[in-house]
Amino acid sequence: MSLLPKSAKVDPNEIFDVIIIGLGPAAYSAALYAGRYVMKALVIGETPGGQLTEAGEVDDYLGLIKVNAQDMIRIFNSHIEEYNLPVILDTVEKYEKHGDLFVVKTKRKGEFKSKTIIVAVGVKRRKLNVPGEDQFTGRGVSYCSVCDAPLFKNREVVIVGGGDSALEGAELLSRYATKVYLVHRRDVFKGQPYYVEIVKQKKNVEFILNSTVTEIIGEKLVKAVKVKNLKTGEEKTLNVNGIFIEIGFEPPVEFAKVNGIETDSNGYIKVDEWMRTSTEGVFAAGDCTSTWLGFRQIITAVAQGSVAARSAYTFLNERQGKTN
Ligand code: NAP
């Protein structure tokens, strides 16, 4: 089983029933269901697995106990290969409506035509926007504890955030680093209480709550992080070798704007319960959508992907019915 889906040559004149934009769990699931509804589907995405590539072990996907995230991507690839769906590794820049068809423009591989679209483009990592962050990215500043934790063996680190990513990250880092400071801007956690309890039991993790990072200091590499208590105003400097910023994600505002899709006040793509967007024939699924109040899990993304594919199928059938 491969980490990359089988690449395919696609005739640019072919008209697809659905083009699925993205390659995370929502996109894989949409592809699977498009296959099961015998739709002529094309998947165009950048990174097979999407955010799953940054996960270590997944233990909250029903039926798969403590599965390695890379293995999960391999399973997803094998599953969609059963339906012989073409996958193109590329970036979709935009799509345009020409009559009843959408023309999808990619960065490198040209244009492709489709009757419907499923947008499953995911989200982008949020930044702290403090002095030193850009300067030391890759030199002590990391956005992915799963990817970089082993680099900080026997070192001291800060991890910022109060969601599942930061909590999971703190747990993982505690296995490598001698000291982990978990800096969170509130004293209540957004992440699952299960993770909070696990992290609290780690002797080398210190919680610095109601606090925010104000500056990242270093020379060639990070040497210290300045933290401010939001209640008392007190500032202190933590002498650490690294800082992990795990403070959530930003919606694909630009993609939505370029393609004229309506978003909610936070910038997430608005969908109804059938994953229909504001544009007829365009559906959306996964982390990029406004659904379920930010509860973004692999299993919820996968559920939305299946619904989006089913809706695209229904849409095409209804349109076919009208023209008959
Ligand atoms: P998240 O749930 O959005 O949490 C982001 C955290 O960062 C929040 O605690 C937030 O503080 C804090 N934050 C946001 N902006 C900040 C800023 N500018 N400065 C300081 N702190 C800031 O993000 P996430 O933890 O990356 O998780 C994203 C989604 O993936 C969630 O739905 C999560 O459940 C899911 N996920 C699941 C798992 C799992 O189930 N195993 C693992 C990882 C992620 P406030 O709390 O004050 O808002």
CATH code of the domain in which 74 resides: 3.50.50.60
CA of 125 to the centre of ligand 1 (A): 10
Last residue of a domain, one of 245, 265, 284: 245
Atom 24 of ligand 1 has which residue's CA nearest to it? 248
Instruction: Please check whether residues 274 and 222 belong to one and the same domain.
Output: no
Atom 48 of ligand 1 has which residue's CA nearest to it? 190
Question: Is 1 contained in some domain?
Answer: no
Question: Is 7 contained in some domain?
Answer: no
Which of 141, 142, 140, 143 lies closest to 126, judged by CA? Answer: 143
Ligand 1 pocket list (CB less than 6 A): 60, 126, 128, 160-166, 168, 185-186, 190-191, 212, 246-249, 294-297
Which position has the token pair 């483009």?
A: 121
Q: What is the pLDDT of residues 44-82, one digit of tens each?
A: 999 999 989 887 788 889 999 989 999 999 999 999 999
Q: Which atom of ligand 1 is nearest to the CA of 184?
A: 21
Question: Is 199 contained in some domain?
Answer: yes
CA of 266 to the centre of ligand 1 (A): 15
Last residue of a domain, one of 213, 245, 277: 245
How many structural domains is the chain composed of? 2
Atom 19 of ligand 1 has which residue's CA nearest to it? 128
Q: In the prediction, which pLDDT does 55 show? A: 77
Instruction: Please check whether residues 162 and 74 belong to one and the same domain.
Output: no
Question: Is 210 contained in some domain?
Answer: yes
Q: DSSP labels for 213-271?
A: EEEEEESSSEEEEEEEETTT--EEEE--SEEEE---EE--HHHHHHTT--B-TTSPBP-
Instruction: Please check whether residues 152 and 235 belong to one and the same domain.
Output: yes
Q: Tell me the C-alpha distance between 31 and 23, whole Å.
A: 9
Last residue of a domain, one of 180, 210, 245: 245
Instruction: Please check whether residues 66 and 37 belong to one and the same domain.
Output: yes
Q: In the prediction, which pLDDT does 146 show? A: 84
Domain that holds residue 41: 15-125+249-323
Helix, strand, or coil here: 164?
A: helix
Instruction: Please check whether residues 255 and 236 belong to one and the same domain.
Output: no
Instruction: Please check whether residues 50 and 95 belong to one and the same domain.
Output: yes
Instruction: Please check whether residues 169 and 207 belong to one and the same domain.
Output: yes
Atom 9 of ligand 1 has which residue's CA nearest to it? 162
Q: Which atom of ligand 1 is nearest to the CA of 58?
A: 41
Torsion-angle region of residue 122: left (phi > 0), alpha (psi -120 to 50) or beta? Answer: left
Instruction: Please check whether residues 258 and 118 belong to one and the same domain.
Output: yes
Find residue 235's DSSP bridge partners. 228
Instruction: Please check whether residues 41 and 181 belong to one and the same domain.
Output: no
User: For residue 127, how far is the Cα from the chain centroid?
Assistant: 15
Q: In the prediction, which pLDDT does 324 show? A: 61
- The overall longest dimension of the chain from CA atoms, in Å, is 72
Q: Tell me the C-alpha distance between 209 and 181, whole Å.
A: 10
Most ligand 1 atoms within 8 A of CB, residue of 54, 146, 165 to mutate: 165
Most ligand 1 atoms within 8 A of CB, residue of 127, 146, 208, 296 to mutate: 296
Can you read off the two tokens belonging to residue 68? 């390695």
Atom 23 of ligand 1 has which residue's CA nearest to it? 248
Q: Tell me the C-alpha distance between 126 and 296, whole Å.
A: 15
CA of 230 to the centre of ligand 1 (A): 19
Instruction: Please check whether residues 93 and 226 belong to one and the same domain.
Output: no
Q: Pick out the chain residues at pLDDT < 70.
A: 323-324
Q: Tell me the C-alpha distance between 191 and 41, whole Å.
A: 36
Which position has the token pair 């491969």?
A: 2
Instruction: Please check whether residues 187 and 253 belong to one and the same domain.
Output: no
Question: Is 234 contained in some domain?
Answer: yes
- Pair 109, 11: CB distance under 8 Å: no
Q: In the prediction, which pLDDT does 213 show? A: 98
Instruction: Please check whether residues 150 and 104 belong to one and the same domain.
Output: no
Question: Is 3 contained in some domain?
Answer: no
CA of 190 to the centre of ligand 1 (A): 7
